[in-house]
Amino acid sequence: MKRLAAALAAQMLFVVVAFCGFGFLATFEPTDNALAFRVGYVVIGIGCLAAAILLTANAVRNGTLTCPST
């Protein structure tokens, strides 16, 4: 159960990272003031990416995400 929960949480975080990447690129369209959105997308994207990497690394280190054939 822990393996499934860790994998689903990491995938949801990667979806947020992808959304933030698309949003960051979309802020380069001609607008008056998009700096706040750029900063927000970068902060949220990097935070979710770091959380997903740490979650995956912790799950692998604890042995919850191991290969089922071993």
Return the pLDDT at 64. 58
For residue 66, give the DSSP letter.
-
Q: Is the pTM of this model over 0.85?
A: no
Return the pLDDT at 20. 96
Q: What is the mean pLDDT of residues 58-70?
A: 68
Return the pLDDT at 39. 94
Structure tokens given for 65: 């995400």
Q: What is the CB neighbour count within 10 angstroms for residue 45?
A: 19
Return the pLDDT at 57. 87
pLDDT, tens only, 17-42: 999 999 999 999 888 888 999 999 99
